[in-house]
């Protein structure tokens, strides 16, 4: 790579703080919080020292279960400075999902907020870790989670068994500068620094291991595609636990000395207000977010004249929405990005100066130093332009692998280093790609990836369910909704509500089937394979979703 940034996370932040010390780094207008890059660098040093004092060191796994609070960004760099691996936890998760991730990731430390939407995180942690009530902060001894020692509460007044976040900085005061310097010096850019969980066809989430080098260079190239400089100010309403928030958001900014202006939990008016108040030049979002902003009754009253760019991604982008964002939000240089967690995450992106038809109808071309090819699903042979096949990518962006899952890793990355995305695409002669479908029937609902197998496995545990098939059906607002075709056990009866109630509180709300249909049989191939695409076609007719199905996306 000719232009690779060869930094660790700490090295990157120190370099930017030297070059743009007085630039805004992190701004939360509603909290009255504003850190310059100099202040932000110093703060992350203090928190990094506190982590060392807590016993967290290189290679340890630190989980964070929180909305877009300031501490999230601080911890991303504080863990990065000492080589601890940040494990990001989806804010919508419930008890079973949290327990699985804490166990599978071998997390030693968990940072958490009080809760989000209808989930009380503190109560949920209490369910998963009953020993917490009677344990001393920092000395947890959990039968189910033997690695987990520290729970740190992001908020005032720590619950039983937890340490308050403020304590971390105070602990850091007891650590010498030389100790932090030694920890930083022991790091290398190709070491794993970030672990994000992505579900798979196996039905259980897999920990994608990403290095300093993976995410810093991906963030830098993403920012380059938006023509970012130290004068840009990005409104970030997408969640940090996704690569969309922490790479396309945080790292696209930090690699350019730009200002990060997060929105803690998405609210369309909060985004409009933030853009106006902070004169943001760019804004990110999944299509549903942009739709909610454009359709907000107060949309016209906000001044969005400073906007120029940003990214729409996370799920297929309706062409009409893209045009409205360009026209009505002043985002004349908005871009579309495509990728997946396993590729740090962006593989292709449109450029600010691409003609409008390419910017609304494709997901762009490969980022610099990234190879992309389309291969035949049956033979694996490379296909010429205009032919549909599986999109594969190779380069600095490919993950180290899935944590503790070598066979899964070998299935995803072939012997020549190509990552197989599982997505169907067509590439034109200039390298611009259109995503045309998914080999494995993944559902993308409002930017959330949902894997049918995971929900199917869960619904099989219902006492009345004999068989279940989960698939996506078109939806105007979210792109897709989850539908379940359920076969009941002989002699049992059940209602749609009963199935939904069984899911509530046990799996994330966005995974709960929106539609439930009871069936006696499934459409099959001659060899006995269930045809989910036929179930989808039937649902489109029965539920009159033809209009949603016809929406054109890139």
Domains and CATH numbers, the chain: 12-187 (3.40.50.980), 443-549 (3.30.300.30)
Question: What pLDDT was estimated at residue 3?
Answer: 72
With 80 as the cut, is the pLDDT of residue 530 above it? no
Average pLDDT over residues 73-98: 96
**Residues 265/68, Cβ–Cβ less than 8 Å:** yes
Distance CA 444, CA 434 (A): 16
What is the mean pLDDT of the segment spanning 425-429? 96
Q: Is 149 exposed, middle or buried (0-12, 13-18, 19+ CB in 10 A)?
A: buried
Q: How much is the CA Rg of the chain, to the nearest whole Å?
A: 23
CA distance 248 to 260: 11
The pLDDT value recorded for residue 452 is 83
8 A C-beta contact, residue 396 and residue 189: no
- Any long-range contacts for 529-534 (C-beta under 8 Å, 24+ apart)? 530/469, 532/441, 532/452, 532/469, 532/471
Residue 397 neighbours by CB distance under 10 Å: 26
Q: Read off the pLDDT band of 22 (50, 70, 90).
A: very high
Placement of tokens 């989930």 in the chain: 119
* Mean pLDDT value across residues 304-310: 98
3-state class (DSSP) for residue 21: coil
Residue 198's pLDDT is what?
A: 87
Q: What percent of the chain has pLDDT over 90?
A: 83
Query: Can you list the positions of beta strands (E) in 37-156?
Result: 61-65, 85-88, 109-112, 115-116, 119-120, 150-153
352-319-540 Cα angle (round to 5): 150
Q: Tens of pLDDT along 91-109?
A: 999 998 999 999 999 999 9
CB 17 within 8 A of CB 37: yes
**How high is the pLDDT of residue 334?**
96
Q: Which two tokens stand for residue 319?
A: 């062409």
Which pLDDT score is estimated for 317? 79
Residue with more model confidence, 442 or 259: 259
Q: Which two tokens stand for residue 413?
A: 């990355």
- Is the confidence at residue 277, as pLDDT, over 90? yes
Report the alpha-carbon distance of residue 91 to residue 88 in Å, rounded. 9
Q: Which residue has the higher pLDDT, 437 or 117?
A: 117
Dist. CA 299–CA 208, nearest whole Å:
38
E-assigned strands of 350-406?
365-366, 370-375, 389-395, 401-402
Question: CA dist 93 to 196, 243, 477, Å?
Answer: 13, 17, 22
Give φ, ψ of 341 to 5 degrees.
Answer: -50, -40
Contacts of 376 (CB under 8 A, 6+ apart): 382, 383, 389, 390
Q: Mean pLDDT for the chain?
A: 94
Which tokens go with 39?
């202040």
More confident residue, 431 or 533: 431
As a whole number of angstroms, the distance between CA 309 and CA 227 comes to 9
pLDDT in the model for residue 49: 98
Task: Supply the DSSP symbol for 245.
Answer: I
**pTM attached to this predicted model:** 0.87
Helix (H) or strand (E) holding 486: strand 479-488
Statement: residue 199 has pLDDT above 70:
no
Per DSSP, the chain holds a count of helices (H) and strands (E) of 19, 28
Assign 3-class secondary structure to 147-165.
CCCEEEECCCCCCCCCEEH
pLDDT at 320 over 90: no
Distance from C-alpha of 483 to C-alpha of 517, rounded to nearest angstrom: 8
109, 134, 136, 162, 253 from 139: Cα distances, Å: 11, 10, 5, 10, 37
d(CA 241, CA 47): 20
pLDDT at 202: 47
Q: Mean pLDDT highest for which of 83-92, 319-328, 521-530?
A: 83-92
SS3 letters for 208-223? EEEEHHHHHHHHHHHH
Q: Going by C-beta distance under 8 Å and a sequence separation of 6 or more, which residues neighbour residue 472?
A: 441, 442, 443, 444, 445, 450, 452, 480, 481, 482, 483, 536
Output the pLDDT for position 526. Answer: 57
Eight-class DSSP state of 447: T
**Beta strands at 346-349 and 365-366: parallel, antiparallel or unpaired:** antiparallel
CA atoms of 211 and 195, how far apart (whole Å): 9
Over the stretch 381-414, which tens digit does the pLDDT of each residue have?
A: 999 999 989 999 999 999 999 999 999 999 999 9
Q: Smallest Cα–Cα separation from 341: which of 226, 234, 426, 239?
A: 239
203 compared with 238, residue with greater pLDDT:
238
- Give the confidence band of 201 by pLDDT, cuts at 50, 70, 90: very low
CB atoms within 10 A of CB 381: 9
Which residue has tokens 């959330």?
Answer: 448
CA pair distance 338, 314, nearest whole angstrom:
7
487's tokens: 């076969």
pLDDT tens per residue across span 473-528: 999 999 999 999 999 988 999 999 999 999 999 999 999 999 999 999 998 755 55
Residue 259 pLDDT > 60: yes
**Which of 35-49, 110-124, 292-306, 533-547 is predicted least confidently?**
533-547
pLDDT of residue 121: 98
DSSP string, 246-270: IIIIIIHHHTTTPEEEE-SS--HHH
Residues in the chain: 554
């Amino acid at each position: 790579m000719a232009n690779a940034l060869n930094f660790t996370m700490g090295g990157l932040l120190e370099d930017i703080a030297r070059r743009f010390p007085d630039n805004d780094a992190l701004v939360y207008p509603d909290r009255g919080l504003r850190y310059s890059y100099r202040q932000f660098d110093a703060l992350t040093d203090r928190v990094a020292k506190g982590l060392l004092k807590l016993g967290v060191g290189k290679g340890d796994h630190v989980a964070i279960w929180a909305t877009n609070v300031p501490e999230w960004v601080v911890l991303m760099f504080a863990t990065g400075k000492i080589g601890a691996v940040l494990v990001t936890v989806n804010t919508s998760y419930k008890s079973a999902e949290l327990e699985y991730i804490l166990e599978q990731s071998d997390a030693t430390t968990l940072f958490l907020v009080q809760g989000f939407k209808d989930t009380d995180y503190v109560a949920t942690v209490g369910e998963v870790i009953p020993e917490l009530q009677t344990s001393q902060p920092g000395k947890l001894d959990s039968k189910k989670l033997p690695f987990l020692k520290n729970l740190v509460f992001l908020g005032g007044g720590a619950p039983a068994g937890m340490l308050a976040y403020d304590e971390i900085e105070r602990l850091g005061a007891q650590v010498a500068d030389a100790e932090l310097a030694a920890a930083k010096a022991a790091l290398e850019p190709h070491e794993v620094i970030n672990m994000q969980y992505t579900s798979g066809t196996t039905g259980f989430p897999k920990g994608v291991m990403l290095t300093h080098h993976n995410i810093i260079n991906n963030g830098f190239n993403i920012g380059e595609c938006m023509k970012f400089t130290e004068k840009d100010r990005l409104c970030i309403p997408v969640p940090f636990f996704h690569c969309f928030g922490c790479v396309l958001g945080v790292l696209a900014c930090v690699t350019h000395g730009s200002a990060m202006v997060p929105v803690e939990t998405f609210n369309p008016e909060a985004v409009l207000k933030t853009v106006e108040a902070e004169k943001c030049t760019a804004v990110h979002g999944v299509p549903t977010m942009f739709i909610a902003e454009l359709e907000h009754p107060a949309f016209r009253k906000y001044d969005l004249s400073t906007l120029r760019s940003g990214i729409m991604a996370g799920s297929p982008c309706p062409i009409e929405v893209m045009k409205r964002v360009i026209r009505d939000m002043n985002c004349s240089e908005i871009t579309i990005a495509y990728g997946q967690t396993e590729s740090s995450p962006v593989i292709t992106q449109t450029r600010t100066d691409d003609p409008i038809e390419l910017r609304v109808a494709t997901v762009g071309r490969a980022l610099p130093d990234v190879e992309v090819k389309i291969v035949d699903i049956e033979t694996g042979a490379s296909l010429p332009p205009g032919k549909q096949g599986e999109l594969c990518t190779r380069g600095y962006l490919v993950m180290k692998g899935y944590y503790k899952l070598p066979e899964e890793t070998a299935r995803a990355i072939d012997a020549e280093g190509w990552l197989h995305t599982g997505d169907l695409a067509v590439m034109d002669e200039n390298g611009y790609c259109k995503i045309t479908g998914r080999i494995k029937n993944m559902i993308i609902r409002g930017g959330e990836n949902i894997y049918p197998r995971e929900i199917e496995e869960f619904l099989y545990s219902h006492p009345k369910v004999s068989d279940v098939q989960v698939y996506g059906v078109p939806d105007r607002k979210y792109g897709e909704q989850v539908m379940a075709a359920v076969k009941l056990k002989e002699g049992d009866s059940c209602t749609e509500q009963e199935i939904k109630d069984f899911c509530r509180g046990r799996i994330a709300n966005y995974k709960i089937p929106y539609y439930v249909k009871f069936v006696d049989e499934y459409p099959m191939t001659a060899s006995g394979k269930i045809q989910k695409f036929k179930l989808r076609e039937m649902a489109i007719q029965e539920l009159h979703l033809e209009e949603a199905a016809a929406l054109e996306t890139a």
